Structure 1
Amino acid sequence: MTETRTAVMLINLGTPDRPDEESIRRYLKQFLSDPRVVDFPRWLWLPILNGIILRTRPPKLVHNYELIWGTHDGPIRTVTSALERRIQTRMPNVTVVSAMTYGSPSIASVLETIRDVDHVVVLPLFPQYAGATTGAVADELERAIAETNSTQTFELIEHYFDDPQYIDALAASIKSHHAYRTGAPKVVFSFHGIPQSQSNRGDPYAAQCAKTAALVAEKLGLPKDRWIQTYQSRFGPLPWLKPYTDITMEALPSDGVDDVLVVCPGFSVDCLETVEEIRIQNRDIFLEAGGKRFNYVKALNASHRHADCLADILGNKLP
């Protein structure tokens, strides 16, 4: 019997190629044109996107991206590639690759590099399923398969929000933080939001976020008054999942909370939304409202714990 040649593909959201206006505009055009991300009627949304947002937003984001960029490829590509290499050392009998839903390397371009395998296990780096993230990966994967005329078989891992190793890794990252070891901060689990309308239509994201936060809190033995779950990164005028992280940060000092430790369990890799939005913007909001101590727990990134966790999840799906 012929052995099945297998590859695993990690897929992250994506990133501009560089922290400059043109690269950001090109990335936002692809990202915000996806109906999975912005589900307004196309006739209404596309003129707003092309006529307003793509003209005004990129110049405002250049500084933010410059703050977090670091190396030539930026944090998302750099760390995702490092995570890919660490998982490869744990799975020597398969080929490990990584791609982006938007931007480069595209799913189609990476599929071209693994034509010699029979089966591909696809792991979107989004622990909680949302149509706007994992659903978008499924759409882009389908397009890439058609574009490359692939005859391989595929398995898509839709979520791992309650995987025991994932929960353990999150809990360990919080427990090892100096602010947790030396004090009693209120732990804020901040997840990327989605429009309330998407949740109302049955998207399981909110329930999965709530389950992740509750499991980590339980693992840490946190009483209910020591933690809270919020949603960040809302975009546009319509309601998103609540409570909002920034509004919560502004209100907590008035409620007697002056010490917070923020963790973003839905972000596998640190990026603009964690480094700039949480560590800078929300820190300023909290301290200006009267808070005294604001600390952030880094994403699992390319840590050994993260690589162990994902290698185990992937290993369970191998033929």
Structure 2
Amino acid sequence: MSDKASLAVLLCNLGTPEEPTPAGVRQFLKPFLSDPRVVEVPRPIWMLILHAFILPFRPKPVAEGYKGIWKEYGGSPLRKITQSQVEKLQQQMSENSVLVDYAFTYGTPGLVEQITHYRDKAERVLILPLYPQYSCSTTAAIYDQIGKYNLGQRDVADVYVIKDYYRQSLYRKALAESVDAFWQKHGRGDHLLMSYHGVPQAYADKGDPYYQQCLDTSTNLAADLALAEGEHTVSFQSRLGKAPWLQPYTDVTVRELAAKGVKTLDVICPSFSVDCLETLEEITEENGEYFTEAGGKTLRLIPCLNDSASHIDMMAAIIAPFVDVQATGQK
């Protein structure tokens, strides 16, 4: 009888720098922006742009953003919250033969590193990408790394991947409850903005389902909150470069809403499962400033699901079908 666990679960997210310095950010951005899944520009052209214009200059201002949020959290909020998710999910799965840990597509601990480690400790490995909506620029990069790893293995690793979960009932419930809880504590704002991480428009044009999945997520959330059509807006943030990305853009939208008379704007970011630079700094600080400069009064970030009980329950429900019940002695 094998002494291995029946299943190892890896919560997988994009990653975070090791330190909030230009050198730390540069070390993180280099593999991230070198991935063809992230930037689909011909390699020779993109490598020239990356090494001549982006890596020499972008890390410094980005590091300043990281410094602010790291100071507040006592380290990387993405890493700290992810570690808490792992601890709480492991506790919830304690009666099953399941190991829980995390991995990053870029950064430490790396996905391949963790697969290599846990395939010796468990019969199977389940990757749960913490991206509710699938995109070729995020989840597909995970599939790529697994494929490249197994390509070099005579005995391939038994790895499963959750492609998306935006339709999962407990995800919908957790998302709606997070908004309700925020409103109960702080009062309801004048308008709800649902801001998603953007991707180039060309990706959607070529078949990436991400845009439609974001729209479906927003439709579901609006229905679950019983919002009227004019009470919410969808937008896309974090664009890079001059090529068109999914629209409307968040930075443009917050200004437009302020100009229309919205004074208190609540923002939720349903494509992010953990608060990070893009929510804590880009939304709260940058877009908060754009909003007030355009005539708004207060922009309020509704926290991501993070390590909330409803989020952990959702993860456990997604994992449940993969758990080997025979290993627990259950029938």
What's the TM-score bracket when you normalise by the shorter of the two chains? over 0.9
What is the rounded CA distance, in whole Å, between the counterparts of 1:180 and 1:259 in structure 2? Answer: 15
Say which of 96, 103, 107 aligns to 2:100.
96
What is the rounded CA distance, in whole Å, between the counterparts of 2:65 and 2:25 in structure 1? Answer: 11
Q: 1:248 maps to what in 2? A: 253
Q: 2:67 maps to what in 1? A: 66
Query: 1:29 aligned to 2:33?
Result: no
Q: 2:58 maps to what in 1? A: 57
Mapping of residues 229-244 of structure 1, within 5 Å: 229-244=234-249
Residue type at the aligned position of 2:78: I
Once the 2 structures are TM-superposed, how far is the Cα of residue 59 of structure 1 from its aligned partner? Answer: 1.3
Per mean C-alpha deviation after superposition, the further-off stretch among 60-69 and 235-244 is: 60-69
The alignment-based identity, stated in percent, is 38
Q: 1:310 maps to what in 2? A: 315
Cα deviation per residue 1:114-167 (whole Å; 9 max; x = unaligned)? 112111111100000000000011112223344676633111100001111111
SS of 1:257's partner is coil
Once the 2 structures are TM-superposed, how far is the Cα of residue 184 of structure 1 from its aligned partner? Answer: 4.4
Once the 2 structures are TM-superposed, how far is the Cα of residue 69 of structure 1 from its aligned partner? Answer: 1.2
Unaligned runs of 5+ in 2: 325-331
CA contact (8 A) 1:117 1:152 kept: no
What is the rounded CA distance, in whole Å, between the counterparts of 2:146 and 2:79 in structure 1? Answer: 19
Per mean C-alpha deviation after superposition, the further-off stretch among 67-76 and 268-277 is: 67-76
Once the 2 structures are TM-superposed, how far is the Cα of residue 72 of structure 1 from its aligned partner? Answer: 5.8
State TM-score, norm by structure 1. Answer: 0.95
Once the 2 structures are TM-superposed, how far is the Cα of residue 181 of structure 1 from its aligned partner? Answer: 5.8
What is the rounded CA distance, in whole Å, between the counterparts of 1:144 and 1:23 in structure 2? Answer: 26
Q: 1:182 maps to what in 2? A: 187
Q: 1:284 maps to what in 2? A: 289
Once the 2 structures are TM-superposed, how far is the Cα of residue 292 of structure 1 from its aligned partner? Answer: 1.8
Change (3 A) 1:150 1:62: farther
Change (3 A) 1:15 1:118: same
Say which of 173, 177, 201 aligns to 1:172.
177
Q: 1:39 maps to what in 2? A: 40
What is the rounded CA distance, in whole Å, between the counterparts of 2:196 and 2:124 in structure 1? Answer: 32
What is the rounded CA distance, in whole Å, between the counterparts of 2:109 and 2:153 in structure 1? Answer: 15
Mapping of residues 93-132 of structure 1, within 5 Å: 93=96, 94-114=98-118, 115-132=120-137
Residue type at the aligned position of 2:44: W
CA contact (8 A) 1:118 1:152 kept: no
Supply the RMSD in Å over aligned alpha carbons.
Answer: 1.8
Unaligned runs of 5+ in 1: none
Once the 2 structures are TM-superposed, how far is the Cα of residue 210 of structure 1 from its aligned partner? Answer: 0.5
What is the rounded CA distance, in whole Å, between the counterparts of 1:179 and 1:283 in structure 2? Answer: 22
Cα deviation per residue 1:166-196 (whole Å; 9 max; x = unaligned)? 1111111111114786234211000000000
Query: 1:266 aligned to 2:271?
Result: yes
What is the rounded CA distance, in whole Å, between the counterparts of 1:147 and 1:57 in structure 2? Answer: 35
Mapping of residues 214-225 of structure 1, within 5 Å: 214-225=219-230
CA contact (8 A) 1:187 1:228 kept: yes
What is the rounded CA distance, in whole Å, between the counterparts of 1:172 and 1:192 in structure 2? Answer: 21
What is the rounded CA distance, in whole Å, between the counterparts of 1:144 and 1:175 in structure 2? Answer: 43
